[in-house]
Structure 1
Amino acid sequence: SVKEIDMVVGDWARIKRWHNSGPAYRKAEFDYIKLKLNIPPEKFYQVPYHHDAHAASAFYPSGFKEAAILTVDGTGSDLETQNIYYGKGDRIIPLEKGLESGIGKAYNWIGCKVLPFDRNEAPGKVMGLAPYGEKYKMKVINFQPKYDGIHTDYTELFSRLPYVKLRPSALKSAKDQKDALKPYFARAAYEIQEECERAMLHLARRAYQLTKSKNICLAGGVALNSVANKKILDQAPFENIYIQPASSDSGLPLGLCLYAYYMIDKSRPKKRFIMPNAYTGVSYNKKEIKQLLDSKKFSYTEIGEQVAGVAKLIAKNYIVGWLRGGSEYGPRALGARSILANATHPKMKEILNERVKHRESFRPFAPAVLEEDADEYFELNGYPSPYMLLVAKVKKNKQKVVPAITHVDGTARVQTVNRLQNALYYDLISEFKKLTGVPVILNTSYNVAGEPIVETPRDALITFLGTNIDYLYLEGYLISKKKNKKRAAGIREELLQERAADLERDYSHIVTKVLCRGYKKEEIQPYVDEDNKIANWWRDYRSKYELEKAAHRWLKDKSKILIIGSKNKTKLLYEYINEFADLNVVGAYYPIKEADHSGKWEAPFQKYKVLTSRQLKRASCDILLIASYRYQNQLAEQYGPLLKSKEVYKIYDNASEDLLFVLPNKWPKYREALADK
Structure 2
Amino acid sequence: MILGVHDGHDAGAVLIDGDRIFAVNEERLNRIKKYRGFPELSVRKVLEMASATPEDVDVIAIAGIFRRQKRLLELEENLRAIFGRDFKRKVIFVEHHLAHSASAYYTSGWRGALAVSIDAAGDGLSSSIYIARDGEMVRIAQSTYIDSLGDFYASVTELLGFRPMRHEGKVMSLAAYGRPRYDLSAIIELNGLSFDNHLKVIGVEATKKLAEFFGYPLESAKRIADEMKRGNLDGKLQRKAIEIAASAQAHLEKLIEELGVNLRDKGLPVAYSGGVAQNVKANAVLRKLVGDDNLWVFPAMDDAGLAFGAAVFVKAQMERLDGRWRPFKLEHVYLGPAYSREEVEGFLKGKGLEYEEVSDVPSFVADALMEGKLVGFFQGPMEFGPRALGNRSILADPGDESVKERLNVALRRDVFQPFAPSLLWEKAGEYLEDLNGTPNEFMTMSYKASEDFRREAPAVVHVDGTTRPQAVREDVNPVYYRIIKEFHKKTGIGAVLNTSFNMHGEPIVCSPEDALRTFRKARLDVLVVEGFAVWEKKRT
For residues 156-191 of structure 1, give each alpha carbon's deviation from its aligned partner in whole angstroms, at most 9, with x where no partner exists.
Answer: 3x5157975542733422132235431111111111
Of 188, 192, 216, the residue aligned with 2:244 is 188
**Greater Cα offset, 232-241 or 245-254:** 232-241
Q: Which residue of 2 aligns with 1:461?
A: 516
Of 419, 422, 433, the residue aligned with 1:365 is 419
For residues 446-465 of structure 1, give each alpha carbon's deviation from its aligned partner in whole angstroms, at most 9, with x where no partner exists.
Answer: 00111100001111111112
> Residue 132 in 1 paired to residue 177 in 2?
yes
One-letter code aligned to 2:127? Q
Matches within 5 A, 1:63-102: 63-77=109-123, 79-99=124-144, 100-102=146-148
Residues 129 and 363 of structure 1 are in contact (CA less than 8 Å); yes or no, is this contact kept in structure 2?
yes
One-letter code aligned to 1:117? F
Instruction: Please state how far the C-alpha of 1:425 moved relative to its aligned partner.
Output: 0.5
Residues 84 and 207 of structure 1 are in contact (CA less than 8 Å); yes or no, is this contact kept in structure 2?
no
> Residue 228 in 1 paired to residue 282 in 2?
yes
Residues 162 and 222 of structure 2 are in contact (CA less than 8 Å); yes or no, is this contact kept in structure 1?
no
**Partner Cα separation in structure 1 for residue 142 and residue 474 of structure 2:** 40
Instruction: Please state how far the C-alpha of 1:208 moved relative to its aligned partner.
Output: 2.9
Q: Which residue of 2 aligns with 1:384?
A: 439
Q: Which residue of 2 aligns with 1:553?
A: none
**Partner Cα separation in structure 1 for residue 168 and residue 148 of structure 2:** 14
Q: Which residue of 2 aligns with 1:170?
A: 213
Give 3-state SS (helix, strand or coil) of 2:464's partner.
coil
Q: Which residue of 2 aligns with 1:153?
A: 196
**Which ranges in structure 2 are unaligned for 5 or more consecutive residues?**
1-52
**Partner Cα separation in structure 1 for residue 112 and residue 190 of structure 2:** 26
Of 335, 348, 371, the residue aligned with 1:280 is 335
For residues 339-389 of structure 1, give each alpha carbon's deviation from its aligned partner in whole angstroms, at most 9, with x where no partner exists.
Answer: 0000000211111111x2111110000011101111212222343110001
Give 3-state SS (helix, strand or coil) of 1:86's partner.
strand
One-letter code aligned to 1:189? A
Instruction: Please state how far the C-alpha of 1:96 moved relative to its aligned partner.
Output: 1.2
One-letter code aligned to 2:138? I
**Partner Cα separation in structure 2 for residue 26 and residue 332 of structure 1:** 30
Q: Which residue of 1 aligns with 2:464?
A: 409
Q: 1:436 to 1:149 in 2, by over 3 A?
A: same
Q: Which residue of 1 aligns with 2:21?
A: none
Of 271, 277, 284, the residue aligned with 1:217 is 271
Q: 1:238 to 1:175 in 2, by over 3 A?
A: closer
Of 194, 201, 205, the residue aligned with 2:257 is 201
Residues 140 and 187 of structure 1 are in contact (CA less than 8 Å); yes or no, is this contact kept in structure 2?
no
For residues 486-541 of structure 1, give each alpha carbon's deviation from its aligned partner in whole angstroms, at most 9, with x where no partner exists.
Answer: xxxxxxxxxxxxxxxxxxxxxxxxxxxxxxxxxxxxxxxxxxxxxxxxxxxxxxxx
TM-score, L = length of structure 1: 0.65
Q: Which residue of 2 aligns with 1:6?
A: 58
One-letter code aligned to 2:529? L
**Partner Cα separation in structure 2 for residue 222 and residue 417 of structure 1:** 25
Residues 370 and 418 of structure 1 are in contact (CA less than 8 Å); yes or no, is this contact kept in structure 2?
yes
Across the aligned residues of Structure 1 and Structure 2, the Cα RMSD in angstroms comes to: 2.5
One-letter code aligned to 1:312? D
Give 3-state SS (helix, strand or coil) of 1:104's partner.
helix
Residues 316 and 325 of structure 2 are in contact (CA less than 8 Å); yes or no, is this contact kept in structure 1?
no
TM-score, L = length of structure 2: 0.81
One-letter code aligned to 1:291? G
Q: 1:290 to 1:269 in 2, by over 3 A?
A: farther
Residues 423 and 470 of structure 2 are in contact (CA less than 8 Å); yes or no, is this contact kept in structure 1?
yes
Instruction: Please state how far the C-alpha of 1:275 moved relative to its aligned partner.
Output: 1.6
> Residue 58 in 1 paired to residue 104 in 2?
yes
Q: Percent identity?
A: 31
One-letter code aligned to 1:3? E
**Partner Cα separation in structure 1 for residue 202 and residue 172 of structure 2:** 23
One-letter code aligned to 2:312? L
**Partner Cα separation in structure 2 for residue 283 and residue 251 of structure 1:** 20
Matches within 5 A, 1:649-668: none
Indicate the structure whose relative CO is greater, using CA pairs within 8 Å and at least 6 residues apart: 2
**Partner Cα separation in structure 2 for residue 146 and residue 431 of structure 1:** 49
**Partner Cα separation in structure 2 for residue 484 and residue 143 of structure 1:** 61
> Residue 45 in 1 paired to residue 87 in 2?
no
One-letter code aligned to 1:369? L
Q: Which residue of 1 aligns with 2:13?
A: none
Q: Which residue of 2 aligns with 1:247?
A: 301
**Partner Cα separation in structure 2 for residue 244 and residue 220 of structure 1:** 9
Q: Which residue of 2 aligns with 1:106?
A: 152
Count of residues paired in the alignment: 469
**Partner Cα separation in structure 2 for residue 56 and residue 289 of structure 1:** 37
Instruction: Please state how far the C-alpha of 1:195 moved relative to its aligned partner.
Output: 1.4
**Which ranges in structure 1 are unaligned for 5 or more consecutive residues?**
486-677
Of 163, 173, 177, the residue aligned with 1:118 is 163
Q: 1:389 to 1:446 in 2, by over 3 A?
A: same
Matches within 5 A, 1:318-333: 318-333=373-388
Residues 118 and 276 of structure 2 are in contact (CA less than 8 Å); yes or no, is this contact kept in structure 1?
yes
Q: 1:422 to 1:145 in 2, by over 3 A?
A: same
Give 3-state SS (helix, strand or coil) of 1:132's partner.
coil
Q: 1:31 to 1:132 in 2, by over 3 A?
A: farther
**Partner Cα separation in structure 1 for residue 354 and residue 240 of structure 2:** 51
Instruction: Please state how far the C-alpha of 1:28 moved relative to its aligned partner.
Output: 11
Q: Which residue of 1 aligns with 2:364?
A: 309
Higher strand share: 2
Residues 470 and 482 of structure 1 are in contact (CA less than 8 Å); yes or no, is this contact kept in structure 2?
no
**Partner Cα separation in structure 1 for residue 354 and residue 189 of structure 2:** 62
One-letter code aligned to 2:403? M
**Greater Cα offset, 245-254 or 272-281:** 272-281
Residues 364 and 407 of structure 1 are in contact (CA less than 8 Å); yes or no, is this contact kept in structure 2?
yes
**Greater Cα offset, 176-185 or 117-126:** 176-185
Q: 1:411 to 1:254 in 2, by over 3 A?
A: same
One-letter code aligned to 2:88? P
Instruction: Please state how far the C-alpha of 1:139 moved relative to its aligned partner.
Output: 2.7
Residues 247 and 330 of structure 1 are in contact (CA less than 8 Å); yes or no, is this contact kept in structure 2?
yes
**Partner Cα separation in structure 2 for residue 363 and residue 43 of structure 1:** 44
